[in-house]
Amino acid sequence: MTRFRLLTPFVLSLMVFPAPASADNEKDAKKVVAFGIDVARRGLWQEARFRFEQAASLNPDSASTFNNLGVTLEQQGEFEKARAAYERALQLEPKNVSIQQNYDLFREADEKRNRKLKGAPAKPATAPAPSPSPSPTGETKENRR
Amino acid sequence: MKAPLCFLTPVLAGALLASGCASALEVPIETPLKSKLDVSKFRRVLVAGFVTDLVDEGIDLAPETSRLLQNQLRSASKLQVIEPDRPPLNQALAKAFKLAEDVRVTREDRDRYRAEGERILQDGAFWRKLGEEYQNPLIVTGKLTFEEQNRSGFQQEAALVRDNRGRVREVRGNRYAERKAFSLAADFSFIDGASGRLLHKERFSEEVVYGEEQKVSPLSSYFELMDRLLPNFLGVISPQRIRGTRVLLP
């Protein structure tokens, strides 16, 4: 988990300030993505997330990498980060049907989650605050909804 | 001819493999859904019984529901489920509202019984005392209504008939159909046994309509309705998962 903590803010910063990727980096990123897909298929989502984050740092212009990162973040319940990753992927490739489909399904599921949580009671004032998690916009799920 | 083919096969296989690798992959995902209520401070849960109608609609609603919820909580939550001999709320109601035997229950009796139930549900001191008795559990209680309704009436029907020229045409008409419905409404309250304070309250309702050919007992219908309602109930205190598929791109 430590490596995620170290890598996540870096990858998220790439969504905002992407650095141009060299040809070598692009090639390496593709290999990393292929490995990430392989482990995701086997249900090893944490490893997949690490690989997609690594690929995003190697090639911050790859829409498919950010799409895959969005899927893994969604699977892990990090919905705000997943949204940011999908939106970055769509920003890079606005006409990609697969990414758009993933994003639409994500939004549909997110609405469903919010509807289910609507009836939830407000947290008592004495309850400990949730641990802040880094997000592209600096917001946490709790304070945004 | 053989040599070029031998040379070509690995190239073709490589190309096919590359195209296979380059295609999108659909993967199943399960996204976690947090429970509505944070129950981490509780170790035990007590299903304390339910306020129901004084006259039951074919089933013993409060004990049946208490037993069913206990079973579900045992498998779906990490909390230790307390099993009292009789639901404490119903015990308290029976004590507070004694009916003489063989006496016809009037509308007023039913209203008074319901009102007494409502009063106990809002009585923080009662729940605090009960909490003390059972070592400060999460208390699940509430109100239940289970009703049978007659939904018989005329229904529009369409039938295909063949006229004397052999043509098939649709004929619409009305037919009287006997139907009955069962409805279940549950107002669940989740109470902190340590303070007697209400933590969360939520209403769930379900209805099922049966045709004349379906002879379904109230008890079967009740279980069918509870089966639909249970995931929402469990979602209040235990995390759930939403299933779906997404596409990974190379």
Instruction: Kindly identify which residue of chain A lies nearest to residue B232, measuring between CA atoms.
Output: A116
Find out whether A108 and A57 touch, Cβ atoms under 8 Å.
Answer: no
Q: What is the pLDDT of residues B78-136, one digit of tens each?
A: 899 999 988 999 989 888 877 666 677 788 888 888 899 999 999 999 999 999 999 99
Q: Residue A3: which pLDDT band, with cuts at 50, 70 and 90?
A: low
Cα–Cα distance measured from residue A17 to residue A23, given in angstroms and rounded to the nearest whole number: 19
- Decide: residue A42, CB within 10 A, 0-12 exposed, 13-18 middle, 19+ buried: exposed
Residue in chain B lying closest to A29 (CA): B250
Pairing of strands B80-82, B44-51: parallel
- Among chain B residues, the shortest Cα distance to A34 is held by B250
Question: Beta partners for B139?
Answer: B46, B191
Contacts of A123 in chain B (CB under 8 A): 38
Q: Round the CA-based radius of gyration of chain A to a whole number and report it.
A: 16
Comparing alpha-carbon positions, the chain A residue that sits nearest to B36 is A120
User: B242 to chain A: which residues are within 8 Å by CB?
Assistant: 109, 112-113
DSSP string for B87-145: -HHHHHHHHHS---TT-PPPHHHHHHHHHHHHHHHT-HHHHHHHHHHTTS-EEEEEEEE
User: What is the secondary structure of A34-49 as a DSSP string?
Assistant: HHHHHHHHTT-HHHHH
* Tens of pLDDT, residue by residue, chain B (250 residues): 444 444 444 444 444 444 444 578 999 998 888 888 999 999 999 999 999 988 776 788 999 999 999 999 998 888 999 999 889 999 898 888 776 666 777 888 888 888 999 999 999 999 999 999 999 999 999 999 998 888 788 888 888 888 888 888 888 888 888 888 999 999 999 999 999 999 999 999 999 998 877 888 889 999 999 999 998 899 899 888 888 999 999 9
The one-letter code for the residue type at A21 is: A
Task: Name the more confident of A127 and A6.
Answer: A6
Q: Nearest by CB to B31, which of A30, A67, A109?
A: A109
Each residue of A77-123: pLDDT tens digit? 899 999 999 999 999 999 999 999 999 999 998 887 777 666 555 44
Q: Residue A129: pLDDT above 80? A: no
Of A64, A77, A123, the CB nearest to B250: A64
Q: Kindly state the tokens that stand for B126.
A: 């009662």
* Cβ neighbours of residue B108 closer than 8 Å, sequence gap 6 or more: none
Across the interface, whether the CB atoms of A41 and B32 are under 8 A apart is answered: no
Question: The tokens of B138 are what?
Answer: 């999460």
Please enumerate in sequence order all residues whose Cβ is within 8 A of that of A145, keeping only pairs 6 or more positions apart, or say none.
A114, A117
Dihedral angle, C-alpha A98, A100, A105, A106, nearest 10 °: 110
Question: Would you call A77 an interface residue with chain B, using a CB distance cutoff of 8 Å?
Answer: yes
| DSSP-assigned beta bridge partners for residue B81 | B45
- Taken in order of first residue, the domains within chain B and their CATH numbers are 35-151+185-248 (3.40.50)
Q: With CB atoms and an 8 Å threshold, state whether B248 touches A71.
A: yes
Residues recorded for chain B: 250
Partnered with residue B189 across adjacent β-strands are B141, B201
Measured in angstroms, the CA of A136 and the nearest CA of chain B are apart by 20
DSSP secondary structure string for all residues of B209-244? EE-TT----HHHHHHHHHHHHHHHHHHHHS-EEEEE
pLDDT at position B101 is 67
Does the CB of B22 have a partner CB in chain A at under 8 Å?
A: no
Which chain B residues have a beta carbon less than 8 Å from that of A112?
A: 242
Cα-to-chain-centroid distance, residue B62: 15
- Residues of chain B found within 8 Å of residue A63, distances taken between Cβ atoms: 249
Q: Do A120 and B200 touch (CB under 8 A)?
A: yes
Regarding predicted confidence, which is higher, A68 or B215?
A68
Q: Is B195 on the interface with A (CB under 8 A)?
A: no
- pTM of structure: 0.63
pLDDT of residue B14: 43
Q: Which of A32-46, A47-61, B97-111, B214-228 has the lowest mean pLDDT?
A: B97-111
Distance CA B244, CA B156 (A): 38
Mean pLDDT lowest among A16-20, A68-72, B99-103, B159-163: A16-20
Residue A16 binned pLDDT confidence (cut-offs 50, 70, 90) = low
ipTM of the complex: 0.72
Whether the predicted pLDDT of A15 surpasses 50: yes
